[in-house]
Structure 1
């Protein structure tokens, strides 16, 4: 294998690893947002919605 082909394969591997990291970060963000939405749904389903609890959930804070 030529040096150029080897360098290209190394570069492609590095790009693949970087894309994997980015996908993991995106997945974590989606999971975080899903948890916030879940808390909002739970709060809205409650008969006595607490405005402070809704705002805390929107900000991603647990009460």
Structure 2
């Protein structure tokens, strides 16, 4: 029997924020099997643009180390 892998990891309580091209992202949930991240998107004016699912490869390296430490 293999090790049971989690479906998702809740990150909303850790307050992980990052910016890409003047758009702010707040990490909400990480999906290890899909290697993707649910984020809340906010523009430079502070207006919430909604939730998005982005690939893990597209986030900054510093944030990757926080979410998935090796």
Q: Mark yes or no: TM-score above 0.5.
A: no
Larger % of strand: which? Answer: 2
Larger % of helix: which? Answer: 1
Structure number with larger C-alpha Rg: 1
TM-score, normalising length: structure 2: 0.27
TM-score, normalising length: structure 1: 0.28
